[in-house]
Structure 1
């Protein structure tokens, strides 16, 4: 769907993992000062911190909701303001900032389709996936029109890993599961009993003190008891500090890394074609492959459904006319006004600089049922004159001037009624504007060319029908045996 100039902007900020709330608040305050310098900004609502998916706090995140002044009181669109905000926010170090539109349509698109551009890389090894995700991100950044490129493997969480000495563990008659259970009790605790506190059962949990849990040396001093023998943890395993992935994504039982991007300044279809052309040259290891999703995939599926809807609409229009004219030939002649209207659709989009979107496709379906009206009026009157005894050519010559006024009246009333919608006046009107544009362009071109094309096509099909009838009569006469 086309982007809306809704005057609402959403800003999401991510700081390095482990950033304290005060530092995140300072970055948000600086970003707020930058935002207030933009003349189109009306109000700003800032939120620092939040809660994670599983209840943990996220002190490294922040968000900002920006409302611009009404469309009539500002000179720039929402997209232009977003571009300026992106440029100014690049100077804030240490923060990953994403600026996006927060209109109802964009929120709905993100809810069902995710980011505008979404590339998934599937494979088994996390290290290889991280390397490929970085390469794909660099390629996407090099495509004109992409904005705020990121991937799911960029930032990892610091972790303390326990690397087992399996031979020594076996020498003490232990298993790695037993050693892991000790650390689990030390860190998460274990319920050893319950007490009654005023009718409520309260668990008693045995665990190390917070000071010991945050000290690697205290953890290394732990002992494992097995068969009366105590084994120090340092002889069974060693601790290593490292960085692990925030999340391990899986799709169809395969690990997957995602690369995301927004876009601006170009239509999504052309950007996606450039990305696919460049990624086609990227060598992939065996067992790894790339898939495309996001709004581009959703748009392709929508276009496929709309093509079927258009074919069904054309079939229904033909069936209605066939029943009205009691003929299969004249409705087919009238349907030739639809391809002519397609030239007007292309011309109208070129003149207005609008892309062929889902709303424009809906307009094409509407137009296919409107443009045939002019041809119906003309062909019906030609048939009426022929029934009155006029020759075909004379009926066509007389029907044109007589039906010119009603054809122009019905076409012009429809065109003028759609002009305000095509101008996109008001906030959020950009969604309906392409739909009205294609209807106006197709109807305008079809109205004038119909007066010339349909009589010619009518003559050709009438001659063809006459030849078929004459040939059938001759065959029937040959089959008749003389008495």
Structure 2
């Protein structure tokens, strides 16, 4: 045993000073295992404590160079011009009326013979004023206008295409246009991103107020809207139906048999969806009367379901990985060490997201799952080589120390190469990098801390759990 120890000590003389220092640190850690485990637990708690401080998002906004501007012009009182038209049913009439079939030469000809033509004419006038303001921006390449959207002639949509070579990000151009667009009386304007999937025109943040009392429902909805509009980061705030006709609400919707009013809003450039939703809920709960409940819709609801299903996905990934390791090693010790070492990445990933102010959302969650496959590699390299050295005759302590010295450089090199490969994505370089950036940030942060900690914690857990296993095994017999 003494010759084995002396040979090991002589062999490290030729190693760089950094490796010698690491060996000494590892030796100290093996003699103070409770302290090392305690520090690992503290790092895990610190990582979890950082989560509330990180912006909670859904899908990052892309610099797509295109977006929509949706407007709604007010419904005028047409009862004097069209005596047979009931003012309370103008929205229904406008949406369902058929245009005359006779040849008028223009859809805007004979305005006084059809209310829908008059509404289209007024809507086109509003669209022209908005289009003129949009084209004044030097970043805009073209605008395509559609009058009459989703069966409502008083609504329209402008598709805005930005120049390929431009100075500002798409979100910055949207902010500029919000302040530059004309303030037309009774007209609501919403500058919106183009969704990956057609969601029926809903905005990213949407909250439903559900109740039976219509008057109480919409009075509280308007009060909530007024307060939400004052919150930083929320723009284009609307309430269902209030933009159809001045000083009245003509649109009544139902959800599961109850009346419902939707409060919707777009997000400014640096506003995270999860944080904005929490602010709106906090405002609404202070105002809601008895009999009115709040329910999340749109992306606000989707983000909640994603976080809810992530725990199950993560657990399934860990179970599959540990099951494979159990088949390879033939015993529970190594898979258990790998499983306990996986949380070491949380503190680094959360700290990286916090420092860079990247969203903790669907993309960063994918990065955390991706980390699982990277982190078990380090633990496997250490434990597999330690088992080989022990089979060759070395004691457990010497095998662990020699494993750390031999495997330090390969582990550090593979980790460094992975980090450097992810660095361009984390810096936001390349087209569409905004979508992948939170994932790269989480991976880089998790790799840094997990690699540094695993070089110490994995050997400590390896020896500690084996001792505990032997004690339990001896007691059972």
Which one of the candidate residues 63, 87, 96 is aligned to 2:179? 87
Q: Distance in 2 between matches of 1:312 and 1:360?
A: 18
Which one of the candidate residues 279, 303, 328 is aligned to 1:274? 279
CA contact (8 A) 2:192 2:203 kept: no
1:97-246 matches, within 5 Å, as 97-102=189-194, 106-108=195-197, 111=199, 114-156=202-244, 245-246=249-250
**How many Å apart are 1:251 and its aligned residue?**
1.2
**How many Å apart are 1:297 and its aligned residue?**
0.9
Q: Distance in 1 between matches of 2:134 and 2:122?
A: 19
Specify the alignment match of 1:68 in structure 2.
162
Specify the alignment match of 2:75 in structure 1.
17
Specify the alignment match of 2:170 in structure 1.
78
Q: Distance in 1 between matches of 2:276 and 2:229?
A: 11
Q: Distance in 2 between matches of 1:20 and 1:304?
A: 46
CA contact (8 A) 1:10 1:63 kept: yes
**How many Å apart are 1:425 and its aligned residue?**
2.6
Specify the alignment match of 1:226 in structure 2.
none
**How many Å apart are 1:115 and its aligned residue?**
2.0
Describe the SS at the equivalent of 1:2. coil
Q: Distance in 1 between matches of 2:447 and 2:384?
A: 19
Deviations 1:404-455 (A, max 9, x none): 2222232233222222332333343211221122112111221222111111
Specify the alignment match of 2:374 in structure 1.
370
CA contact (8 A) 1:114 1:295 kept: no
Which one of the candidate residues 8, 14, 37 is aligned to 2:66? 8
CA contact (8 A) 1:119 1:291 kept: yes
**How many Å apart are 1:244 and its aligned residue?**
7.1
Deviations 1:142-161 (A, max 9, x none): 22211111111314559xxx
CA contact (8 A) 2:68 2:191 kept: yes
From the superposition, tell whether residues 448 and 156 of structure 1 become closer, same or farther in structure 2 (CA, over 3 Å). Answer: closer
Larger radius of gyration: 1
Deviations 1:182-205 (A, max 9, x none): xxxxxxxxxxxxxxxxxxxxxxxx
Deviations 1:235-265 (A, max 9, x none): xxxxxxxx97443211111111111111123
Q: Provide structure 1 residue ranges, at least 5 long, that are not aligned to the other structure.
A: 159-242, 477-483
Q: Distance in 2 between matches of 1:332 and 1:100?
A: 49
1:338-377 matches, within 5 Å, as 338-377=342-381
| 2:474 equivalent to 1:382 | no
Q: Provide structure 2 residue ranges, at least 5 long, that are not aligned to the other structure.
A: 1-58, 77-117
CA contact (8 A) 1:121 1:288 kept: yes
Deviations 1:78-136 (A, max 9, x none): 1111111111125344421110112xxx242x618932221222223333322222112
Deviates more, 1:416-425 or 1:333-342: 416-425
From the superposition, tell whether residues 113 and 346 of structure 1 become closer, same or farther in structure 2 (CA, over 3 Å). Answer: farther
Which one of the candidate residues 39, 46, 49 is aligned to 2:138? 39
Q: Distance in 1 between matches of 2:149 and 2:471?
A: 79
From the superposition, tell whether residues 90 and 354 of structure 1 become closer, same or farther in structure 2 (CA, over 3 Å). Answer: farther
**How many Å apart are 1:52 and its aligned residue?**
5.0
CA contact (8 A) 1:113 1:294 kept: no
| 2:445 equivalent to 1:441 | yes
Q: Which has the higher contact order (CA 8 A, sep 6+)?
A: 2
CA contact (8 A) 2:216 2:289 kept: no
Deviations 1:367-410 (A, max 9, x none): 11211101100111011111111011100111112112222232
From the superposition, tell whether residues 131 and 469 of structure 1 become closer, same or farther in structure 2 (CA, over 3 Å). Answer: closer
Which one of the candidate residues 255, 277, 298 is aligned to 1:294? 298
Describe the SS at the equivalent of 2:148. coil
Specify the alignment match of 1:50 in structure 2.
148
Describe the SS at the equivalent of 2:393. coil
From the superposition, tell whether residues 113 and 25 of structure 1 become closer, same or farther in structure 2 (CA, over 3 Å). Answer: closer
Q: Distance in 1 between matches of 2:149 and 2:301?
A: 31
Q: Distance in 2 between matches of 1:261 and 1:244?
A: 20
Measured on the aligned residues, the alpha-carbon RMSD in Å equals 2.2
CA contact (8 A) 1:6 1:427 kept: no
Q: Distance in 2 between matches of 1:276 and 1:458?
A: 47
TM-score of the aligned structures, taking structure 1 as reference length: 0.73
**How many Å apart are 1:463 and its aligned residue?**
1.9
Q: Distance in 1 between matches of 2:200 and 2:435?
A: 18
Deviations 1:311-352 (A, max 9, x none): 110111111111111111222112233111111101211222
Describe the SS at the equivalent of 2:241. coil
Q: Distance in 1 between matches of 2:296 and 2:444?
A: 35
From the superposition, tell whether residues 113 and 91 of structure 1 become closer, same or farther in structure 2 (CA, over 3 Å). Answer: closer
Describe the SS at the equivalent of 1:132. helix
Q: Distance in 1 between matches of 2:200 and 2:365?
A: 20
Richer in strand (by share): 1
| 2:257 equivalent to 1:253 | yes
CA contact (8 A) 1:41 1:68 kept: yes
